[in-house]
Structure 1
């Protein structure tokens, strides 16, 4: 199933390559949190609908609630998808960029396997990868001191 999801993600990202935008446009907002080099290699797509894999195997694995969730954004490797109504919310972009880093550190297969396990075991609201992203975007939102999110993710996965 992991390979099927990975293939689906590759297809989704490939089909949106022409409309994705570089996150470097957020450099000024996220200065001190994300490096300019990282921002140039992360991308986002503004969309009406968040693309999600809806394979029977995922539902059988107990992920139906996650698949059916109304999300503001979702990350697939180096690209995240954000709903139009959330496109101006810096906190959502910040959150999804944490996931881009998690994907990089864990590699696609590692991220997918871990994310599924965490959702199954803890549920979305208590999944450690999500908790990390929510804690960091909350720190940013509260105007917390600058910290290297890249280093934080690397050290805390």
Structure 2
């Protein structure tokens, strides 16, 4: 039986770990304004100025015993191409050229902004435990929006859509 994480110390530990990771990669961060021409009319310039990405060999993930005990081991061990921590997301070198991935991770940046770091962490973990990765509502939203982008769908403000949908 897996333990449910109900907040407090574990969420604070994760948030502290994220702050340390983001600080350690700060001089490697690139502003997402480099995607302005690709994401024009989906994301505002002012939003892209406050979102960053880092290209890494391996995606950094918190590997705490509490997370594994809570049934999140498969997520920790998943070979992800990208992950978002607050205003910064990390993509692997092999996937750094995939615009759809950047689009997807930018959805998560908005979710982090709207839910606050501790709110995002709590909700994401709860959704992973309840629905699993593929059916987690925050992930489903990001995948639906990146699929719309990939299909050259009609342009609209992703920022406004995500804010209204949360």
The CA distance in 2 between the partners of 1:153 and 1:47, in whole Å, is 27
Give the Cα separation in 2 of the matches to 1:19 and 1:103.
21
- Structure-2 separation of matches of 1:2 and 1:26: 32
TM-score (norm 2): 0.94
Q: How far did residue 20 of structure 1 move? A: 0.6
- Residue of structure 2 equivalent to 1:51: 60
Distance 1:84 1:65 in 2: 22
Whole-angstrom CA distance in 2 between matches of 1:45 and 1:20: 5
Give yes or no for the alignment of 1:105 onto 2:114.
yes
Whole-angstrom CA distance in 1 between matches of 2:116 and 2:154 = 29
Which stretches of structure 1, 4 residues or more, deviate above 4 A after TM superposition? none
Alpha carbon RMSD of aligned pairs, Å? 0.3
Gaps of 5+ in 2: 1-9
Q: How does 1:2-151 map to 2 (within 5 A)?
A: 2-151=11-160
SS at match of 1:50: coil
1:99 deviates by 0.2
TM-score of the two chains, using structure 1 as the length reference:
1.00
SS for the counterpart of 1:37 is helix
| Aligned equivalents of 2:161, 2:125: Cα separation in 1 | 22
Unaligned regions of 5+ residues in structure 1, if any? none
Q: Distance in 2 between matches of 1:64 and 1:25?
A: 34
Give 3-state SS (helix, strand or coil) of 2:116's partner: helix
For residues 10 and 74 of structure 1, what CA distance do their matches in structure 2 show? 14
In the TM superposition, what is the alpha-carbon distance from 1:38 to its structure 2 partner?
0.1
